[in-house]
Structure 1
Amino acid sequence: MKFTDLNRISKLFFGTIDIAKELSITQESARITAVRYTKKKLLIRLKRDLYILPSRFDKLKEEEIFHVANILQTPSYISLTTALSYYNITTQQQRNYIESIGLKRTRTFEINQLNFSFSLIKKSLYTGFGLNDNYFIATPEKALADSIYLSSLKKYNCDFNAINFSKIKLKTVNEYLLKTNSHVLSYWKNICRTYKIWKH
């Protein structure tokens, strides 16, 4: 039984069943092996019974990294500056930082120097996203709305100077923010006045 035998697993993400099959061992032995390999940094554990080889993780494309973010916390979707950058709406660059919106808790995971940040929002605001290939991502308008909402609560720091508001349907952003509260709406109106982007 050799660690290199795991390179024969064709799946990008795999579990102990796949490890057991490839190494010709029981699933319980595979579980113990996975724990040992993870401690030695020969495997990366994404969540319960789901692993990836470090060599493959380091070669992930942007869309695959977004999929990993969805896996790390379920349910969740890519949003905030990460989504705005993906749509070329902001010039703000965040190296090795992936931002998502979730329903469970606010926290950050670090995997091989790549940070996955999750911000918690109310269930009533958990909308405005769709499935793109195999990952969930906010629409441009919802990504901005999320940024405004969390910034107004001082839970996020969005660089609004870097945003090209002309690429955004501001009426749609307003519709999302109408579901929040007067404090958020006041913050939004100040942004509109500051950047002279839209009259309510």
Structure 2
Amino acid sequence: MKALRLRNINKPIFNLRDLERVLNVLPTSAKVIASRYVRAGLLIRLKRDMYVLAEQWPYFSIEQKFQFANLIQTPSYVSLMTALSYYQISTQIQRDFIESIALKRTKQVNIEKTIFHYSKIKSDLYFGFVRQRNFFIAEAEKALLDAFYLMSLKRYTLDVAAIDFGKFDRQKIASLLTKFPESVKQMAAEHELA
């Protein structure tokens, strides 16, 4: 059965060219097969021409899902409560919900009961993230300021009682705050961060 050959791809994320190679089919056939396998539940389509094996989904680590989040909408980086939880700054743990900051649009994608949520931010505030392993994630201080910024726009709710404010680098917050509007600076001051 051709479907068994999918395991020979040997990478978590693959495209139609990988299917062509492993199944030894023409590009048009690869597209038809991919659609058929998605309908049959053998493949999961993350987005156009980007797939993972359905049988592997339950075993992907949170870091791999962060990588998927970066790829489902580009450019984007993991931020907000997802990043704060990852850094163990929040006692709130989000299961199957990954928040990211994006430049293009605010949207939500549900893949296999995992929600990938993207909040659009102004391009001049799209900074303060790092590459870890194979994904981009906000620095802890920027994740908090992203949350404050979206809260100031009434587009986000943050459980501040779950945040350990003592874990933030106040000098870094002061440096990052220079690019944010006054409303965010006021929120930082209210939490004794600036």
* Partner residue, 1:75: 75
Distance 2:88 2:188 in 1: 21
Contact kept, 8 Å, 1:140 with 1:168, in 2: the verdict is yes
Q: Deviations over 1:32-61 (max 9, x none)?
A: 110121122221111221110011122101
TM-score scaled by length of structure 2: 0.94
Contact kept, 8 Å, 2:105 with 2:119, in 1: the verdict is yes
1:84 offset after TM fit, Å? 0.5
Aligned residues: 194
SS at match of 2:156: coil
The 5 A counterparts of 1:82-97 are 82-97=82-97
Distance 1:159 1:24 in 2: 52
Distance 2:57 2:100 in 1: 19
Distance 1:132 1:40 in 2: 34
The 5 A counterparts of 1:53-72 are 53-72=53-72
Contact kept, 8 Å, 2:109 with 2:117, in 1: the verdict is yes
Consecutive unaligned residues in structure 1, runs of 5 or more: none
Distance 2:174 2:107 in 1: 27
1:170 offset after TM fit, Å? 2.5
- 1:189 is the counterpart of 2:189: yes
- 1:156 is the counterpart of 2:167: no
- Taking only the aligned residue pairs, the percentage that are identical comes to 44
Contact kept, 8 Å, 2:151 with 2:157, in 1: the verdict is yes
Distance 2:14 2:95 in 1: 27
1:89 offset after TM fit, Å? 0.4
Tell me which amino acid in the other structure corresponds to 1:184. V
* Partner residue, 1:32: 32
1:178 offset after TM fit, Å? 3.0
TM-score scaled by length of structure 1: 0.91
Distance 2:127 2:139 in 1: 10
